[in-house]
Amino acid sequence: MKKDIILAGVGGQGILSIAAIIGTAAIESGLHLKQAEVHGMSQRGGDVQSHLRISDKPIHSDLIPNGGADLIISVEPMESLRYIPYLSENGWLITNTKAFVNIPDYPDYGELMKTIKSFPNHIALDADEIAKDIGSPRSMNMVVLGAASTFLDLSYEKLEEGIKIIFGRKGEKIVDANLKAIKAGKEFTKQYK
Amino acid sequence: MKKLLLLGNEAIGQGALDAGLSGAYGYPGTPSTEIIEYIQRNPEAKERDVHRTWSTNEKTALESALGMSYVGKRTIITMKHVGLNVAADAYMNSALTGANGGIIVAVADDPSMHSSQNEQDSRFYAKFALMPAFEPSDQQEAYDMPRLAYEISEKYHLPVMMRLTTRLSHSRAGVLRNSILEENKMHLPEIKDQFMLLPAFARKKYKHLIAVQKDLEMESENSPFNKYIEGTDKSMGIIACGLAYNYLMENYDECNYPILKIGQYPLPKKQIQNIFNECDEILVLEEGMPLVEEMLKGFLGNLKIHGRLDGTLDRDGELNPMKVRKTLGLPKLSSKDIPELVSGRPPALCVGCPHTDSYKALTEAMKEYGKGHVFSDIGCYTLGYLSPHNAIDTCVDMGASISMAIGASDAGFFPAIATIGDSTFGHSGITGLLDAVIQKSNIVIVILDNDITAMTGMQDSQVNGKIEQICEGVGVEKEHIRIINPLSRYHEENVKVFKEEIAYTGVSVVIPRRPCIHVFAKRKK
Ligand SMILES: Cc1ncc(C[n+]2csc(CCOP(=O)(O)OP(=O)(O)O)c2C)c(N)n1
Ligand code: SF4
């Protein structure tokens, strides 16, 4: 088993929590893991990405090679496309459709969605909207993780366990909100497929 | 035993703690910051009462660690690559005093300059100082190395460098813990003059430092971190240092060259000789600058050695699996280009950032003088160079804003403004301020006090609550230390304050004071 995943978004959107939960679930499942993330300068509203590699064999490089990623999981639509060079031929693009516009030259939204939909293997969902609907407006990132959950080759229970471990410190309410969000994302993909 | 999921930086912190650490010092700087942060929040460190504080700058950090080593305890000092320039005086001299309790100087380099103003390779400093150095290739080695590093440090009475690069510092993997060593008991150096560098003593110590190089080389020959891996295809041998080893192994299924993996310096001469004799050509893979390649190639350039110097690999920037793949002559994996409509998303000041309002007021006050007058420094506020702010003109090294404004003003340039963050002011602005006061420079120094060291992720600022007293103590006239509140509702007043201080001939300090918008959330944690 081997999954190479690019996580993408804008600084502050919570991709490191997604990484931490998948990472915890992988370790709890006895798998090898490497996860390279971005700290510092780029976190100030700039583009951020994380390379996440899971395997049942030892992993060498902390970085995924171009053309090697099984999945791109993005919490922002334009950011999902920035990492296309990493996607393997049969890889999946899973992205939130809610644009985060903090630059003057953000592309035309219609064109952007058209480009995303031109990839045969894609899942596009308005995770902000779904998070709001279920009453967990701050858990957009977990909705996206939920949408990707069936592609990870990790058991759903382990991901839930990851959420409990990572958010446990912040109290039961936050854990529940995030559990609800990941479930909503998973449901979306089930119907979409 | 269960694995801990740790960043490379955290693995070093845990490794040092488990190897009997008594004190950690450092100054924040990406990508090194998480070493101290990890030790600070570690419950076992708390229970053991391991000393773990930020210092005012990298030099004071290294000197404090020397003091702790003097009384026999094990310490670690952490910094980013440019921090070692600041600590260089203490660092070079610490190679002569050596260590009593073990010393690890952990330096994180940032090839490709993800969050830095230059890329430098700290291994050159280790070689320069004749100090042993360790370069982990993965998180487990980052955890394991401190133990051997302390052993060597105490055996040879020498500080030891641990050199990291961004990708390892900020990448997580599972790490297995070892047993926990006791901390050293307090004890003074056995040799009374060990830390006395009067020339007569220093000359002796330098001879000694040179003499132990052979022993250090032998340690490298026998190190578990230097490894010769046989290969059948002798047309090329590969020397892979630190992280470069992983990028090689990522592609290794498809070739079979002998490999020499390097994780401990000075270079193991016999092993190098061995791969050199055995293989037709030698490829050197190293993250950072071509240190090993240059040593092997020599001044006249042995044509058998390849790497960054002869263009086999890019001269600058970090390595990755693709670059190494290409160098090995393996076919490219198929991949698509970034769709054209994707635009850049550079980092920016947060919405509501106090620096934005400070810059708005300053820029308006400066309108009549035209462009090019604002010397700035390093921190979040450096982003004020970008649109829409366009508020500053320079960024060189920490503290340079004040001293450069002095120089420009000395040349008759008016007005000369310096903008500097609170943490940067403490780090190396105060000495510049003293110069300004002594020669009565006609400059305005704007100390952007947002309560914290924001750029590197919210560490406490050493000068917090003391800025006015420091300025007064250094000799700035009280009437010309002005505190303003950078909020848009005070904009007009703030512009007026800037204008008044620009008009004053002499040293003025304006302190826009409002916490970074993330301070509250951070303190609540
Ligand atoms: C010698 C050196 N050490 C550390 C750093 C990393 N660094 C960059 S900016 C900064 C401090 C910024 O704090 P402050 O001046 O308070 O400005 P803020 O980011 O809070 O606006 C640090 C530690 C560096 N660039 N150079
Ligand atoms: S982190 Fe704080 S200081 Fe830095 S840009 Fe954001 S608000 Fe400003």
Q: Are residues B192 and B231 in the same domain?
A: no
Residue of chain B whose Cα is closest to the Cα of A43 = B347
What backbone phi and psi angles, to 5 degrees, belong to B262?
-110, 125
CB of residue B349 inside a 6 A radius of ligand 2: yes
Chain-centroid distance, C-alpha B242: 17
Closest residue by Cα to residue B285 from B256, B303, B309 = B309
Q: Which of B41, B114, B345, B387 is the best substitution to test chain A (most A C-beta atoms within 10 A)?
A: B345
Q: Look at B343 and A106 and tell me if their CB atoms are within 8 Å.
A: yes
Domain presence at residue B334: no
Q: Which of A34, A44, A107 sits opposite B173 (nearest CB)?
A: A34
Domain presence at residue B447: yes
Q: Are residues B459 and B515 in the same domain?
A: yes
Closest ligand 2 atom, CA of B519? 2
Residue B341 C-alpha to ligand 2 middle, in angstroms?
29
Whether chain A has a CB inside 8 Å of the CB on B172: the answer is yes
CB of residue B463 inside a 6 A radius of ligand 2: no
Measured between beta carbons, the chain A residues lying within 8 angstroms of B382 are: none
Ranges B81-85, B117-121, B344-348, B373-377: which has the least confidence: B344-348
Q: Are residues B207 and B233 in the same domain?
A: no
Residue of chain B whose Cα is closest to the Cα of A68 = B333
Q: Are residues B259 and B382 in the same domain?
A: no
The secondary structure of residue B344, as a DSSP letter, is: -
pLDDT of B522: 74
CB of residue B453 inside a 6 A radius of ligand 1: yes
Residue B518 C-alpha to ligand 1 middle, in angstroms?
16
Residue of chain B whose Cα is closest to the Cα of A64 = B321
Measured between beta carbons, the chain A residues lying within 8 angstroms of B321 are: 61, 63-65, 68
The length of chain A is 193
Does residue B371 have a pLDDT over 80?
yes
Ranges B45-49, B173-177, B458-462, B517-521: which has the least confidence: B517-521
Q: B203-235 b/e with 16+ CB inside 10 Å = b? A: eebeeebeebeeebbebbeebebbebeebeeee
Q: Are residues B279 and B402 in the same domain?
A: no
pLDDT of B523: 73
Does residue B186 have a pLDDT over 70?
yes
Higher pLDDT, B138 or B254: B138
The number of beta carbons lying within 10 Å of the beta carbon of residue B18 is: 18
Does residue B289 have a pLDDT over 90?
yes
Q: Are residues B206 and B253 in the same domain?
A: no
CB of residue B458 inside a 6 A radius of ligand 2: no
Tell me the average pLDDT across B454-461.
93
**Cis peptide leading into B31, omega within 30 of 0?**
yes
Domain presence at residue B167: yes
Q: Which of A10, A47, A63 sits opposite B320 (nearest CB)?
A: A63
Closest ligand 2 atom, CA of B379? 4
The length of chain B is 525
CB of residue B518 inside a 6 A radius of ligand 2: yes
Q: Which of B56, B378, B401, B445 gets mutated to test ligand 1 (max ligand atoms within 8 A of its CB)?
A: B378
Q: Look at A85 and B335 and tell me if their CB atoms are within 8 Å.
A: yes
Domain presence at residue B428: yes
Total number of domains in chain A: 1
Distance CA B402, CA B419 (A): 8
pLDDT, one tens digit per residue, over B394-453 is: 999 999 999 999 999 999 999 999 999 999 999 999 999 999 999 999 999 999 999 999
Q: Look at B170 and A38 and tell me if their CB atoms are within 8 Å.
A: yes
Instruction: Compute CA distances B63 → A83, B149, B154, B324, B480, whole Å.
Output: 44, 19, 18, 40, 34
Domain presence at residue B391: yes
The secondary structure of residue A75, as a DSSP letter, is: S
Last residue of a domain, one of B211, B240, B261: B211
CB of residue B516 inside a 6 A radius of ligand 2: yes
The number of beta carbons lying within 10 Å of the beta carbon of residue B89 is: 12
Closest residue CA from atom 8 of ligand 2: B353
Name the band, by pLDDT with cuts 50, 70 and 90, for residue B195.
Answer: very high
The secondary structure of residue B3, as a DSSP letter, is: P
The number of beta carbons lying within 10 Å of the beta carbon of residue B146 is: 30
What backbone phi and psi angles, to 5 degrees, belong to B122?
-65, -15
Domain presence at residue B343: no
Q: How big is the CA angle at A40 (ends A36 and A42), to the nearest 5 degrees?
A: 85
pLDDT of A40: 67
CB of residue B355 inside a 6 A radius of ligand 2: yes
Ligand nearest to the CA of B386: 2
Q: Are residues B180 and B311 in the same domain?
A: no
Q: Which of A41, A89, A107 sits opposite B115 (nearest CB)?
A: A41
Which residue, chain included where needed, has tokens 């003293």? B434
Task: Give the SS3 label for residue B124.
Answer: helix
Tell me the average pLDDT across B54-61.
98
Distance CA A69, CA A50 (A): 12
pLDDT of B427: 98
pLDDT, one tens digit per residue, over B261-272 is: 999 999 999 999
Task: Report yes or no: B402 and B420 within 8 Å, Cβ to Cβ.
Answer: yes
Q: B383-408 b/e with 16+ CB inside 10 Å = b? A: bbbeeebebbebbebbbbbbbbbbeb
For B196, the token pair is 């006395």
Task: Give the SS3 label for residue B403.
Answer: helix
What is the average pLDDT score of chain B?
A: 96
CB of residue B386 inside a 6 A radius of ligand 2: no
H-helix or E-strand spanning residue B377:
none
Q: How big is the CA angle at B359 (ends B353 and B361), to the nearest 5 degrees?
A: 115
Q: Look at A106 and B350 and tell me if their CB atoms are within 8 Å.
A: no
Task: Give the SS3 label for residue B87.
Answer: coil
Domain presence at residue B220: no
Q: Are residues B31 and B158 in the same domain?
A: yes
Q: Are residues B380 and B519 in the same domain?
A: yes
The answer to pTM > 0.80 is yes
Q: Are residues B280 and B144 in the same domain?
A: no
Q: Look at A45 and B170 and tell me if their CB atoms are within 8 Å.
A: no
Total number of domains in chain B: 3
The enclosing domain of B319 has a CATH number of 3.40.50.920
Domain presence at residue B94: yes
CB of residue B522 inside a 6 A radius of ligand 2: no
Measured between beta carbons, the chain B residues lying within 8 angstroms of A39 are: 30-31, 33-34, 115, 170, 457
pLDDT of A41: 61
The enclosing domain of A124 has a CATH number of 3.40.920.10
Last residue of a domain, one of B147, B176, B211: B211
Closest ligand 1 atom, CA of B449? 16
CA-based nearest distance A75→chain B, Å:
15
Distance CA B220, CA B61 (A): 28
CB of residue B28 inside a 6 A radius of ligand 1: yes
3-state SS record for B168-202: HHCEEEEECCCCCCCCCCCCCCCCCCCCCCCHHHH
Q: Look at A44 and B343 and tell me if their CB atoms are within 8 Å.
A: no
Residue B354 C-alpha to ligand 2 middle, in angstroms?
7
CA-based nearest distance A188→chain B, Å:
26
Closest ligand 1 atom, CA of B82? 1
Ligand nearest to the CA of B522: 2
Whether chain A has a CB inside 8 Å of the CB on B398: the answer is no
Q: Are residues B450 and B503 in the same domain?
A: yes
3-state SS record for B426-487: HHHCHHHHHHHHHCCCCEEEEEEECCEECCCCCEECCCCCCHHHHHHHHCCCHHHEEEECCC
Residue B425 C-alpha to ligand 1 middle, in angstroms?
9
Closest residue by Cα to residue B146 from B136, B158, B156 = B136
DSSP secondary structure string for all residues of A90-159: EEEEEEE------STTPPPHHHHHHHHHTSSSEEEE-HHHHHHHTT-TT-HHHHHHHHHGGGTTS-HHHH
Question: What is the ipTM metric for this complex?
Answer: 0.93
The number of beta carbons lying within 10 Å of the beta carbon of residue B176 is: 11
H-helix or E-strand spanning residue B33:
none
Q: Which of B35, B171, B245 is the best substitution to test chain A (most A C-beta atoms within 10 A)?
A: B171
Q: Which residues of chain A have pLDDT under 50?
A: none
Longest CA–CA span in chain B (Å) reads: 78
H-helix or E-strand spanning residue B110:
none
The enclosing domain of B54 has a CATH number of 3.40.50.970
CB of residue B422 inside a 6 A radius of ligand 1: yes
Residue-number span of the structural domain to which B245 is assigned: 227-327
Residue-number span of the structural domain to which A96 is assigned: 2-192
Task: Report yes or no: B402 and B418 within 8 Å, Cβ to Cβ.
Answer: yes
Instruction: Compute CA distances B430 → B27, B88, B474, whole Å.
Output: 16, 19, 8
